[in-house]
Every structure is written in C-alpha cells, then in structure tokens.
Amino acid sequence: MRLLYCKQPAVARKDGVNRRMYDIVIKIGSMALIRRDDGDIDYNIFSRLGKSLKPGMLLVSSGATEIGRIDYIKRHGCELSGDVEDIKTDYAAQGQAILMENYREFINPAYSVRQVLLEHSHFNDAEKKEHIYRLLIRAPKQRAIPIINYNDPVSSEENRKMELRKIGNGGRKVVECVDNDETAAVVAMLVKAKTLVILTSVDGIYQNPEDPSTLIEEITAPCADGLEAKVKDAMGCCRGASRDGAQGAAAKLLYSLGPAKAGTQVYISNANNRLEHILSGKAKSTRIYIGK
C-alpha cells in the first residue's frame, strides 16, 4: 500500500529556528500495556515498541497510573484505599518511574530518552507552549526520543477543572490534555508530524464493535470539511470505553480530526502490531487522511 503524505514546508522563524516536522508521533493507551488476563505489565509490548523507536519519533504514553497500581499490589498484596483522586495521584507517581524504566530497557542505547511531563497549562499559555515546542524540536538533532505523559501526580481533578474554567472565560478554546489521545493530537499538530499512530487494544474503528469483519480501513475525503463529516459519522459506531475514566474510540476519532485536517496521516491500530507493519499496510488499522 502506498502511503500518502501531505507535504508541509518548514516555516522559517525570526529566531532562526525552523518548525520542522517529526516523522511520527505515537500514542499508546494504558490497557495496551497491560496483560488483562493476569493483570500484569505486557513486557512484549514495551519490547516491540521500544525497539522501533528512533530519533524523529515521539511517544505519548499512558500507563503510569495503572502500572503504579499493579506495582503497589505486587509489593503490598492489596490496593490503596481512601479518596479516589488521592489514590490516582499516588499510583501515577509510583508508576511514572516504572514506565520510563521499561522503555529505556528496550530502546536502542545509542539514543537518549527524555521524559516530558505535560499539563494543560503548557498548551494554554503561549510562552509555555513555545518552550515545550523548542524542547521537542531540539531532540531529533540530539539523537533523543521524547516520551510524553500527562503529569497526573501534581494536580487534582478539582484544581484542573477550576483552572480550565478560568482559562476558558470569554469563550476561549481550551486544551485540556487530561486524555492522552488529546495530548498526542495537540503534540502532533505542534511539531507538524507527518504521521500520528494511535495504538490501542483493538485493530481500529469498527462499524459494529462486536463484528471484527466490519473494521473501517479508511476514513478519507478530498477536503477538511468532508473528512470531518466522515469522522463524525464513524463516531456514531463507537460504544463505551475499555476502562473507567477512558473516553473510548469516539474520543480517538474526535481528537484525530485536528491533526488529520492539518495534513497529518492518522492510524488507529492494535499495539500488538509492529509499527512498520502498520505504516506499510501489512497490519490492520483505520487510516484517517485527506486525499483524492
């Protein structure tokens, strides 16, 4: 299968920095990193994905909270009890280090690995957004791979909602980034990625989620408005989410719209598939793009 990339020239800036694109932004969800049958980390996923990563790629990885929970149970034989938000905070803080440790184990040691913990404020403030952009855009030339996650341990849901309401006063569009699907989409647009790959626990988007033969292989249109209409139509096929707190397949489609309309080619596919097989069309996926 021939890949259709929308060429976007680098934009020269007054400060001499070019807004050059990343080749690929990859997002992987929490449940894709877990073996559901025995409730443990799926090291095969870390190995397969880690070995595929190289400079010019950027990873947005969920999983800190769930991995922290698994690690706590292994060490203490029980789950934490108390306030739900406090528990999520504590699990996320415990899981962040384990998440990075596992990626570092499998990524080529010739490359640097850089953890970038983001919050909504980084994308709703021009100076902070520029700072993050410059951090990310330096990495490929320095043979480094950024791994991004939302910084869950430092902000409660109540505080986030209050801050977001304040930012949104006056009808301003607000980037929340609590869902890493949104974070990946925002980052892909920020670095003008050629491709965004969203890895999940299924092969893509289905017309009937209970029938694997109804996989929607392509969502495409010749213009942005046409693509938006088709994506929203496909969202009507989506049901539920894989776990409490997740926003499910419909959210993946919704957040894919921004990058796709900007010329980024988006794939939604199974984390069990090799990255190169997804990009070459050997693996099943749903591909979203503007094309003829």
Per-residue pLDDT at 243 exceeds 60: no
Condensed to tens digits (0 to 9), the pLDDT of residues 161-203 reads 555 566 666 666 766 666 889 999 999 999 999 999 999 989 9
| C-beta separation of 103 from 145 below 8 A | no
Q: Please give the pLDDT value at position 120.
A: 77
Pairing assessment for the beta strands 285-290 and 57-61 based on DSSP bridges:
unpaired
Question: What's the confidence (pLDDT) of residue 275?
Answer: 96
pLDDT of residue 179: 82
122 pLDDT higher than 50: yes
Higher pLDDT, 93 or 249: 93
**DSSP helix/strand/coil, 170:** coil
Q: CATH 3.40.1160.10: does it fit domain 24-290? A: yes
Window from 42-56, 182-196, 213-227, 239-253 with minimum mean pLDDT: 239-253
pLDDT tens readout for residues 19-49: 545 899 999 999 999 998 888 999 999 999 9
For residue 7, is pLDDT > 50?
no
Q: Decide if 185 contacts 255 (C-beta within 8 A).
A: yes
Section 121-147 average pLDDT: 92
* Residue 104 DSSP code: H
pLDDT at 220 over 60: yes
> What is the rounded (10 degree) CA torsion for 157, 99, 41, 60?
70
What pLDDT sits at residue 236? 86
Task: List the domain boundaries for the chain.
Answer: 24-290
Pairing of strands 285-290, 40-41: unpaired
Tokens linked to 192 = 């003008």
